Amino acid sequence: MTRFSKAGFILATAGSAIGLGGIWKFPYLVGQNGGAAFVIVFILAFILFGLSIFVIEMLFGRESEQNSISTFETLAPNNMKFLKYGGLMVISGLLIFSFYVVVLGWLFHYLFLSVIGMPKTLQEAQEVWGEFVSGSIGYQMFWHLLVVALCAYVLNKGVKAGIEKLNLILMPLLFIIFAGLLVYSVMQDSFIESFKFLFSPDFSKLNSQVVVEAIGQAFFALSLGVGVILTYSNSLPKHGNFVRFAVIVAVLNFLFCLVAGLVVFTFIFGHGAEPSGGPGLVFVSLPLIFANMGVSGQIIAFLFFIALIFAGITSAVSMLEPLNSCLIERLKYTRKRANLTSISIAYILGLVVLFSNTESYGGYLTFFDKNFFGWLDYITSSFMLPLAGVFMCIYMGFILPKEKVYAMSEGHLRGIYFKTWYFTIRFIAPIGILSAMISLI
C-alpha cells in the first residue's frame, strides 16, 4: 500500500479541513450570530467534540486500513456486524461536495471579476451578485463544470500522486497568502474593532440554534463525520505520533478560521459595511471594499479569491474519497469507475443545487423555507455529520472494549490524556451533541 509521507498526511488532512467552511462560512456565521458568543461556543465544540472525534476517526482508519463500511464491520463483535451501515455516512461527502463545488464555481467567477473589474457601489455589487446567482445559469454551469473536472482529474490520480501532490503545492501557497493578508490587516485601524467583535461576547445572542450551528460548524471545519479522516488514516505513515498530527491539524485549522474572521471583519469594519451580511459577505461586501481600494484592492481581491479557491479545491477532493474507497474496496470498482460514478452523481446534484438558486427554477426547488442548496447544507451540517460523530463515539466508547481502544492508540494517548479523551467520547461528546440537537426540535 502506498502511504502518505508525514508532511503529506498533515498537509492533505489540513487541506481537507481548511476550506470554505473556515474561510467563507465561519466569518458569516460569526457575523449572523452576534460575534464572540458564537466564537466561544465554536471553540468549546471544536475542542470537546471536534478534536476528540478527530482522534476517533484516525484510530478507526489506522487500525482497519479499510474503507469506513468495512472498518465498522471488521471491528464489530460477531453479533453486531450490522454496524457496518454506519459506514454509509460516506454519502454525506457526496452531498456536501455537490453544493461545495457550486460555491467554488462562484469563487472562480469572482476571481475573474477581480481581474476585469469589480462593482464600485453597494447597489451595483448587490446587483452583480444577485444577477449572477439567480440569472447567469450559463456562466455558473461553466465554472461548475470546470471545478468538477479539476477535482475529477486530481482524484483519478489517486491519494498519493493526486491528493498528496496537490496539497504539497497549494497548501504552502495558501499559508503565504494568508500570512500576507493578516499582516496587512494588523496594520489597519479597524483591526482592533474586528478583534473585539470576535472576542468580546454578548451572551444574550446565544440560543440553541446558535449552539447547534456552532457544533455543526466544528464538524464541518474539521471534515468529520464523513469518513475523510478515517480514509486518509488508512495510509497514515506507520511510525510517528498520530495524536500529535491530530493536534497540529486542529490547531492549524483553528488558526485559519480565526485569521479568516479577523481579516474579513477588518475590511468590513474599516469600510463601514454590515457584519451580518450572511453568505453574501464574501461576494458583496468584500468585493465592494476591494473595488474601492484602487490597485492594492485589486491585488488583495485576487489573492483573497485565489486563496479561497486553493483552500476549497483541497477540501473538495477529500469529500469523495471515502465513498470512492468503499466502491473500490467493497464493490471491486477500478478507481476510474469509482470516480466516474461518484463524480457523475455529484455533478448532477450540483446542477440541481445551482438551479435551485435561480429565479427561473428556484420556485420548483424550494421546499418550505429553504431551497435545495439550503437543505443540503442544513441536513448535512446540522444532522448527518453530528449524528455520525455520535455513532463513532458510541462505537468506540461502548462497543469496543476499553483495552482494545487503549491498544489501538499504541501508547500515543496515555495516562490522564487517555482518561480525559475516553471520558469525553463516552459521555461529554455524545450527550452534548444529542442534547443540542434535541433542543432544536
Residues that bind ligand TRP (CB under 6 A): 16-17, 19-22, 93, 96, 220-221, 223, 226, 228, 315, 318-319, 385
Closest approach of ligand TRP to the CB of residue 322, in Å: 8
**DSSP secondary structure letter of residue 440:** T
Tracing cell 469525553 back to the chain, one arrives at 424
Radius of gyration of the chain (CA): 21
Strand partners, 371: 366
Strands (E), 75-150: none
Question: Given the complex with ligand TRP, which of 118 and 320 has the nearer CB atom?
Answer: 320
Distance CA 48, CA 206 (A): 18
The CA distances from residue 144 to 4, 82, 131, 236, in Å, are 30, 38, 17, 32
Closest approach of ligand TRP to the CB of residue 126, in Å: 25
CB atoms within 10 A of CB 238: 8
Question: Given the complex with ligand TRP, which of 28 and 220 has the nearer CB atom?
Answer: 220
Closest approach of ligand TRP to the CB of residue 137, in Å: 25
Closest approach of ligand TRP to the CB of residue 318, in Å: 5
Closest approach of ligand TRP to the CB of residue 385, in Å: 6
Distance CA 27, CA 46 (A): 16
What is the SS3 assignment for 323? helix
- Determine contact, residues 285/28, Cβ cutoff 8 Å: no
Closest approach of ligand TRP to the CB of residue 319, in Å: 4
- Give buried/exposed letters for 51-83 (b at 16+ CB in 10 A, else e): bbbbbbbbbbbbbbebbbbbbbbebbeeeeeeb
Closest approach of ligand TRP to the CB of residue 20, in Å: 4
Closest listed residue to residue 148, CA positions, set 375, 329, 380, 312: 312
Closest approach of ligand TRP to the CB of residue 228, in Å: 5
Question: Given the complex with ligand TRP, which of 58 and 400 has the nearer CB atom?
Answer: 58
Tracing cell 482592533 back to the chain, one arrives at 192
DSSP string covering 335-369, please? HHHHHHHHHHHHHHHHHHHHHHTSHHHHGGGEETT
Closest approach of ligand TRP to the CB of residue 16, in Å: 5
Question: Given the complex with ligand TRP, which of 20 and 288 has the nearer CB atom?
Answer: 20
Closest approach of ligand TRP to the CB of residue 93, in Å: 6
Distance CA 332, CA 168 (A): 29
Question: Given the complex with ligand TRP, which of 55 and 96 has the nearer CB atom?
Answer: 96
Question: Given the complex with ligand TRP, which of 312 and 430 has the nearer CB atom?
Answer: 312
Question: Given the complex with ligand TRP, which of 313 and 405 has the nearer CB atom?
Answer: 313
Question: Given the complex with ligand TRP, which of 387 and 413 has the nearer CB atom?
Answer: 387
Question: Given the complex with ligand TRP, which of 315 and 409 has the nearer CB atom?
Answer: 315
Strand partners, 367: 370
- Determine contact, residues 318/116, Cβ cutoff 8 Å: no
The answer to whether the Cα torsion of 185, 188, 190, 192 is positive or negative is positive
What is the SS3 assignment for 371? strand
Distance CA 31, CA 194 (A): 11
Question: Given the complex with ligand TRP, which of 228 and 246 has the nearer CB atom?
Answer: 228
Question: Given the complex with ligand TRP, which of 143 and 269 has the nearer CB atom?
Answer: 143
Closest approach of ligand TRP to the CB of residue 43, in Å: 16
Distance CA 147, CA 35 (A): 32
Half-sphere CA count of 406, side-chain side, radius 13 A: 11
